[in-house]
Amino acid sequence: MNLSLYLLTVLIWGTTWIALKWQLGVVEIPVSIVYRFGLAALVLFGLLLLSRKLQVMNRRGHLICLAQGLCLFCVNFMCFLTASQWIPSGLVAVVFSTATLWNALNARVFFGQKVARNVLLGGGLGLLGLGLLFWPELAGHTASPETLLGLGLALLGTLCFSAGNMLSSLQQKAGLRPLTTNAWGMAYGASMLALYCVVQGIPFEMEWNTRYIGSLLYLVIPGSVIGFTAYLTLVGRMGPERAAYCTVLFPVVALNVSALFEGYQWTAPALAGLVLVMLGNVLVFRKPRVAAPVNTCLEAKQI
C-alpha cells in the first residue's frame, strides 16, 4: 500500500509542472491557485458528503486546518512561483528537495522522533544528485540581489511545506483523515488567497480554451485531490521524513517528461545525478537492522 501511494504521488506531482506551465498566460498566478484549490475543495466535500465520510472537527481541528491551508495551499505556492521568476526552476527544485531534511528535523523537534541516519544520508545523496541533474542550469545563472530574494522565497516555501506536513501528521494522530483535513485546508487556503487577490485588485479572469481548462482540471483532480491525499496519507503512515523524499524524485520524473515533450537531452552528469538520487531513495527506505537481544544471544551460545 505504501509503495503504491509513493509511486502515485511521484508520478502525479512529477507531471504537474507541465500543467502549471500551461496555466501561465491571461490568468494571474494567484487567481489560478485560487481556482485550483477552490475547485479541489468542492470536489473533496462532494465526495465526502456523498459517501458520508466527512468527519466532524472541533475548534482545534479547524484552527489546525486553517494553518495547514495557509502553509500547504497558499503561501508555499506563492513563494515557489514568485521565486521561479528570479532563479532557475532547477534551483527551486533543489531547494524544495531539502524538505526531506527539514521534515526529519521538525519531526525531531515537535514530535520527539529520532532522526534515522540512513534518512539523512539518503537526503544528502538526493540533494547532490539533483545538483548534478540541474548543473548546466545552475552554472549558467549569475548571482544578483534577485537571486538571493528568490532563494529566500524558495526556502520559505519549503519551510511552509514542511510545516504543513507536521500539521497533517498532528491531525492524523488525532484520528482525522487526510481527505477531511485536505478539504477544509484547501477551502481555507483558497479563501485566504482570494481575499489577497481582492485586496490587491487582481482580476478574476478566466481563459476559456482547451489548454488552460485541461491543465486546470489536471491540477484539480490528479494534482490536488489525489496527489495531496496520497502524499499526506504517506506522511501519516511512513513519517514526514521518508514521505518527503518524493520531493527529490519529482524533478527526475519532470525531466523525463521534458525529454519526451520538449527535447531535453540527458548528459553524463545528469545520469550520474540520477544514480545518486536512486541510491538516496534506497537509503531512505532501508529498514535499520535490529540488534538481537543479549539474553537471546546467550541462550543460543548455551545451546
Where is average pLDDT lowest: 44-53, 71-80, 96-105, 158-167? 96-105
How big is the CA angle at 288 (ends 270 and 172), to the nearest 5 degrees?
90
pLDDT digits (tens, 9 = 90+) for 3-59: 889 889 988 988 887 788 788 788 998 999 999 999 999 999 999 999 999 999 999
Contact 68, 190 (CB under 8 A): no
Put simply, whether the predicted model's pTM sits higher than 0.85 gets the answer no
Query: In this predicted structure, what is the pLDDT of residue 303?
Result: 42
Contact 232, 52 (CB under 8 A): no
Query: In this predicted structure, what is the pLDDT of residue 64?
Result: 96
Residue 291 — pLDDT band, cuts 50, 70, 90? very low
Where is average pLDDT lowest: 74-83, 108-117, 259-268? 259-268
pLDDT digits (tens, 9 = 90+) for 207-248: 999 999 999 999 999 999 999 999 999 988 888 878 887 877
What is the DSSP track for 179-191? HHHHHHHHHHHHH
Identify residue 208 by its one-letter amino acid code: W
C-alpha 85/C-alpha 33 separation (Å) is: 16
Rg (CA), the chain: 21
Report percent pLDDT > 70 for the chain: 88
Q: What is the mean pLDDT of the chain?
A: 84
C-alpha 70/C-alpha 67 separation (Å) is: 5
Q: How many CA atoms lie within 13 A of 3 on its CB side?
A: 2
Assess whether pLDDT exceeds 60 at residue 299. no
Query: In this predicted structure, what is the pLDDT of residue 294?
Result: 46
Extract the C-alpha cell encoding 55.
468527519
Provide mean pLDDT across the span 127-139. 75
> Cα 290 to the chain's mean position, in Å?
31
Number of domains in the chain: 1
Residue 144's domain spans which residues? 2-302
Percent of the chain that is helix, strand, coil (3-state, to 5): 80, 0, 20
